[in-house]
Structure 1
Amino acid sequence: MFETLRMYFQYPFVRYALIVGVLIALCSSLLGVTLVLKRFSFIGDGLSHVAFGAMAIASVLNITNNMLFILPVTVICAILLLRAGQNTRIKGDAAIAMISVGALAIGYLLMNLFSTSPNISGDVCSTLFGSTSILTLTKGEVWLCAILSVVVVAIFILFYNKIFAVTFDENFARATGTRANAYNLLIAVVIAVIIVLAMNLVGSLLISALVIFPALSAMRLFKSFRSVTISAAVLSVLSATAGILISILAGTPVGSTIVAVDIAVFLISYGIGRITGR
C-alpha cells in the first residue's frame, strides 16, 4: 500500500489534489460551526448551485479562466441571499431553495442549449460530484487556492470575537455596538469563496458535507465554541486526507470518498458522545 502511494505521489497532480483538499477542508470547517449554530448550514448547498450555474454561463461564453467569473457571481448571490433572508416576506430557507433550484436548472439548461462538449452528461456529473476535476488542477490554481485559503483563515482569526458574538446572540451583539449585519455579510462572502474553491474537490452537490459534518462531529465531542471549532478543523483535514488517499488506492471518486469518510467520522463521534454522555 505504501509503495503504491509513493508511486502515485511522484505525479504532481496527486500532490496538488492533496494540498488543495487539505486547504479547502480547513477553510470550510472553520465557518461550518457558525453556520450550523445559526441554523443557516444549507447556504452551502444553495451557493454551490449558484456556482454551478455561473460555471455553465462561463462555459457558454468560452471564458478561459472561469474562476474570474464564477467567484464574483457567487459572492454577489451570497449577498443577495443574505438580504433576501432578512426580508420578512421571504424567509431564509425559502430564499436558499429559490436561488438553489433556479441556478441549478438554468445552468443545466444552458449547458444543453449551448453545448461546447460532446459529453454533456459526463461534464455535468464531474461538476456536480467532483469526480475528476480535482485531478486536473494546474499549479496556478493551487497557488490561487492557497492564497484564498490564507485570506479566509486570517479573516476568521482577526474577527473571531465578532463572529463568536454574532453567532450566539445577534441581538445582544447589536446592543453592544457590534455591526452584526456587516459581520453576517462577511461570513456570507467568505462562505461563497469557500464554495467556489470546493467545487474542484467534491463537486457542487457535495459541498455542504464539508461544511456540516465536521462541525456536527465536533459538537458531539466538545462543548465550547473554540474547542468545537479547533476539533472541526482537525477532523475535516484528517477526513479529507484519508478520503483522497483511499480514493487513490481504491480508484473511487474523490469527492464521494471524502464525504463517506466524513459520515464515518460523524458516526464514530456520535457513538463516543453517547458513551461519554455529551
Structure 2
Amino acid sequence: MDIGEILSYGFLQRALVAGSLIAVLCSVLGVFLVLRRLSLIGDGLAHVTFGSVALALFLGFHSALTTVAAIPCVLLASLGVLRLTEKAKIYGDTAIGIVSSLGIAIGVLLASMAGGFNVDLFSYLFGNILSISTTELLISAGLFLVVLVSVALNYNELFAITFDEELAKSAGISTKRINSILVLLTALTVVLAMKVVGIMLISALLILPAVSALQLAKGFKTAILLAALIGMGTVIIGIFASFVMNLPTGATIVLVNFVLFALTFVIKTLRR
C-alpha cells in the first residue's frame, strides 16, 4: 500500500490534521511547563479529564460531545492546582497529586455506577485518533487557534515568568494572571490530546518533544519552534506506523517520541 492510497482514507486525513494541531500545542506549552518544572501537571489534569469524561458519559452525553463537556471541569481543576499552590502554601507536585487523585477517584466511581468501563471510556484512556470525527476535528481546530493566539499575545510575560518569576513580578508583570493563563491553556490542550494518545499517555506528548528540543536548541524561540516540529513529525510518523503495522496509535506515537529523545540525548552527548 503506497502513501497516496493510505492518504485517500478520510479517517486518516482527519487523524493527521487533528494530530498535527494538537502536537504543536502540546510541544509549545511543554517547553514552558518543562522549564518551570510543571510538566507533571499534564498527568494530573489527564486524570481529571478521565473523571470529566466518565461524568459526561454517565449523564448521557454523545461521545462526540464529551470533549466539550469535559472542558469546564478540567479548566476549574487547573485553577484549583494553582490556587492550592498559592493559598495552601504547598508544592506544585503535591497540589497536582491531590487534584489528580480526586479526578481518577471520581472517574472510577462513576464508571462503577454506570456498570463498568464501556468501550467509549476505554478509548479515551488509551487514545483512538483514527476514530476522530469531523466535529472533533473542528473543535480541535478552534481550540488550536485560541491556545496559539493566547500564547502569542502573552509571549513576553510567559517568557519572563518561565525564567525568573520573582523578577517578573518586580517588573510589574501580573504573575498570577499569567500563571492562570498558562494552566488554563494546558487544560484545554490536555482535553484535546486525550483522543490522540489517550488520557494515560498525555504527559508524554507534553514532555518528550519539549525535552528533545531543549537538548538541541541554543535559544528559547528556537526550542519552541523545534519542539513544535518534533511533536508534529512524531505524531505523523506514529499515525502512519500504527496504521501500516496495525499497532495502537497512541502508544506508537509515544514510542516514536522516546526514540527521538534518545537520539537527541546521544547527539548532545557527542557534541560535548
The farther-off stretch of 5-14 and 226-235 is: 5-14
The alpha-carbon deviation at position 257 of structure 1 amounts to 0.4
Count how many residue pairs are aligned between Structure 1 and Structure 2: 270
Instruction: Determine which of 254, 260, 264 is the counterpart of 2:259.
Output: 264
Residue in 1 that maps onto 2:212? 217
Letter in 2 for 1:262: N
Equivalent residue runs for 1:144-223 within 5 Å: 144-223=139-218
The alpha-carbon deviation at position 121 of structure 1 amounts to 6.0
The gaps in structure 2 that reach 5 residues or longer are: none
The alpha-carbon deviation at position 215 of structure 1 amounts to 1.0
Equivalent residue runs for 1:25-64 within 5 Å: 25-64=23-62
Letter in 1 for 2:74: T
- Asked whether the equivalents of residues 48 and 74 of structure 2 are also in contact (C-alpha less than 8 Å), the reply is yes
Q: For 1:220-253, what per-residue CA distance to the aligned partner results, in whole angstroms no more than 9, with x for missing partners?
A: 1123211111111111111111111101111101
Distance 1:173 1:213 in 2: 27
Q: For 1:56-102, what per-residue CA distance to the aligned partner results, in whole angstroms no more than 9, with x for missing partners?
A: 01111102322232001100110111111223543211111111122
The farther-off stretch of 121-130 and 181-190 is: 121-130
Distance 1:63 1:255 in 2: 24
Equivalent residue runs for 1:1-278 within 5 Å: 1=1, 3=2, 5-64=3-62, 65-115=65-115, 120=117, 122-130=119-127, 132=128, 134-277=129-272
Q: For 1:93-133, what per-residue CA distance to the aligned partner results, in whole angstroms no more than 9, with x for missing partners?
A: 11111111221122022112213xxx726444322111x3x
Distance 1:260 1:22 in 2: 17
Identity of aligned residues (%): 37
SS at match of 2:196: helix
Distance 1:138 1:235 in 2: 25
The farther-off stretch of 82-91 and 49-58 is: 82-91
The gaps in structure 1 that reach 5 residues or longer are: none
Distance 1:138 1:121 in 2: 19
- Asked whether the equivalents of residues 86 and 92 of structure 1 are also in contact (C-alpha less than 8 Å), the reply is no
Letter in 2 for 1:218: A
SS at match of 1:111: helix
SS at match of 1:201: coil
SS at match of 2:267: helix
TM-score, normalising length: structure 1: 0.93
Q: For 1:127-157, what per-residue CA distance to the aligned partner results, in whole angstroms no more than 9, with x for missing partners?
A: 2111x3x222221211111111112111112
4+ residue segments displaced more than 4 Å:
121-124
Distance 2:143 2:122 in 1: 26
Distance 1:69 1:124 in 2: 14
Distance 1:105 1:181 in 2: 29
